[in-house]
Structure 1
């Protein structure tokens, strides 16, 4: 027997109808609908406690939407006591309560090493034994695969380099020269915070564009949904990129009003003490913060050999085309409109579980 994070014995591996890999927001949304459908399932989560990737985010990270538009199915997220958009700790508390409220069968910490075909089942190999299931839902997200693009000289830089995933707050950067790389929401929020304690430079591939102040995550989700439906119908529709790139949460608006959101074009190379542009100009820095995104954490699916040209896994909705017993949830628009968001994961999970139950 193995022990869960709370000291209780882990259930011995056994055949089940559905295994969900990952106990973050997407896995919990799937679990909610599976539970309501009366399915025989378990959720295997590698983390020792609830909260998923939100437990590892920097404290000041803010959701793009108010709490009422950032909820999983069945349970509205309470509004933060201080008002405004919820921070990472608020989301962790909400996910913890959600998991307990619906008594979802999460077994942790269990690290999934591989998923393989085994006759009529899929075999899920973990550090706590082997499970078998008729259907597997992979909901491991992207946080565990931070992406840093190659730039000439990257190995020569003499200062500190870290990715968004390793950022924990501004205090250790006080008084330093910090280069923030990336034109998305994480870059803007981190830059806004660091600009209050450090000398900051911002480098982006294209000029950053803030969304109108009144546009938040709810509007973005609805736009993504309309675009997805239009694509299925062979029609064109406006994209999020037509509006802008960055949601103007309070900290970003404040930095904008301080004149701190001016970005430089992307540099051409990294030097031992900073970066240089093709025109010969340079900027010295002590730290480079790479806010350059993530890739899907899908290493456990490698034995299934599902990747096609370009490394992508082909899907029909959430179902893998080359392995119909596998569903992927929460990795981005290719697995459902805005499915990497709280509200998007819940809506996509409902449709996915309906398809799964029909097959079972």
Structure 2
């Protein structure tokens, strides 16, 4: 183990953690990546089977390793996992898989990371890069506990086959809700229920993928305060097929239902209907419970400015939604955020080393 006064523990071995590890290494410090899973690929293997990136391969690579294959294709879930594994191998840093972090505590010189296996790992800095997949947001509606049908979050969904011939409601108005509802409609009767209407955005305006325009316009670099002024709803990227499915009635969209009954839901207009399954595509929250004991969170959310903790010097975050820009928690944007927060972290670590005379 490197000198604990110059080592930085990166919690999470997915895209955010690997981006952070590269930035820590390049800053001249010693990254140690702790990944709960058996591979340094984060949550990608656990998403639904048909998931593809919304950005082309050319805009989905991380620094130092191009995404293989046709740069204009949209990589699949498994291709992303394979890419991240290759990226991890290319970094030349220490990555420990099967190491779940239970909690973090503070010491006079930094932090102590406690793993589920009982290890205690000292560190001068912490990068919290554990993503959101481990904390799916599942709303609870009246009558939900008594509902006899299936209720699950999209995090638990894999493929449409088990829903063949069934009545299914998908809750949500984002990309995942529409993508899952669209493929389920081939085998089931599907309604998409949401508080707000679905807002579609052309995936390929003027014959070029949207990400080309985001990149060349500088939109990806707009700070969150500006984004709040121009983005009121996260749009669903569409090449035309999704919109047509709604317009033709292949997928039915309705305002959110209000209540569950024994085997039914009650819609906003008071009518009720038998339903076999409800899949909530209602997003995720930062999975950072290991920081709760040191007071770094407020109602489960990190207290930070642009990914730098406002409660604990030496603690930074990578992979938070809208952390510094529209692309903060994506493959194309996470490395920019990692460079930014690790620059501040490295300065803190070096100052601390100087103070203790090392």
TM-score, normalised on structure 1?
0.87
Q: Does 1:319 align with 2:319?
A: no
Kindly tell me: are residues 46 and 269 of structure 1, through their superposed partners in 2, closer, same or farther at Cα, counting changes over 3 Å? same
1:97 counterpart (79, 86, 90) = 86
Map 1:115-194 onto structure 2 (within 5 A): 115-128=104-117, 129-194=119-184
Aligned-residue CA RMSD in angstroms? 2.5
- Which residue of structure 1 aligns with residue 230 of structure 2? 239
CA-to-partner distance for each residue in 1:37-84, whole Å, 9 max, x for gaps?
331120010001132110101111111110111111221212369x73
Q: Does 1:264 align with 2:238?
A: no
- Which residue of structure 2 aligns with residue 52 of structure 1? 42
Residue-pair matches, total: 342
| Secondary structure in 2 matching 1:358 | helix
CA-to-partner distance for each residue in 1:154-188, whole Å, 9 max, x for gaps?
11111111111100111111111111111111100
Higher mean alpha-carbon deviation, 255-264 vs 144-153, is at: 255-264
Shift in Å at residue 213 of structure 1? 3.3
Distance in 2 of aligned mates of 1:356 and 1:218: 32
Shift in Å at residue 258 of structure 1? 5.0
Map 1:32-43 onto structure 2 (within 5 A): 32-43=22-33
- Which residue of structure 2 aligns with residue 29 of structure 1? 19
Distance in 2 of aligned mates of 1:337 and 1:202: 26
Query: What residue ranges of structure 2 are gaps of 5+ in the alignment?
Result: 351-358
| Secondary structure in 2 matching 1:155 | helix
| Secondary structure in 2 matching 1:323 | coil
Distance in 2 of aligned mates of 1:14 and 1:47: 24
TM-score, normalised on structure 2?
0.88
- Which residue of structure 2 aligns with residue 351 of structure 1? 340
C-alpha contact 1:223 1:238 (8 A) present in aligned 2: no
Kindly tell me: are residues 75 and 264 of structure 1, through their superposed partners in 2, closer, same or farther at Cα, counting changes over 3 Å? same
- Which residue of structure 1 aligns with residue 56 of structure 2? 66
Shift in Å at residue 13 of structure 1? 11
CA-to-partner distance for each residue in 1:99-152, whole Å, 9 max, x for gaps?
112223111110100011111111100134111111100000000011111211
CA-to-partner distance for each residue in 1:214-252, whole Å, 9 max, x for gaps?
264565675352243xx3xxx68753336x521115763
| Secondary structure in 2 matching 1:263 | strand
- Which residue of structure 2 aligns with residue 282 of structure 1? 272
C-alpha contact 1:64 1:249 (8 A) present in aligned 2: no
Kindly tell me: are residues 102 and 250 of structure 1, through their superposed partners in 2, closer, same or farther at Cα, counting changes over 3 Å? farther
- Which residue of structure 2 aligns with residue 332 of structure 1? 321
Distance in 2 of aligned mates of 1:254 and 1:74: 40
1:226 counterpart (219, 222, 226) = 222
C-alpha contact 2:227 2:326 (8 A) present in aligned 1: no
C-alpha contact 1:33 1:350 (8 A) present in aligned 2: yes
- Which residue of structure 1 aligns with residue 73 of structure 2? 84
Kindly tell me: are residues 217 and 194 of structure 1, through their superposed partners in 2, closer, same or farther at Cα, counting changes over 3 Å? farther
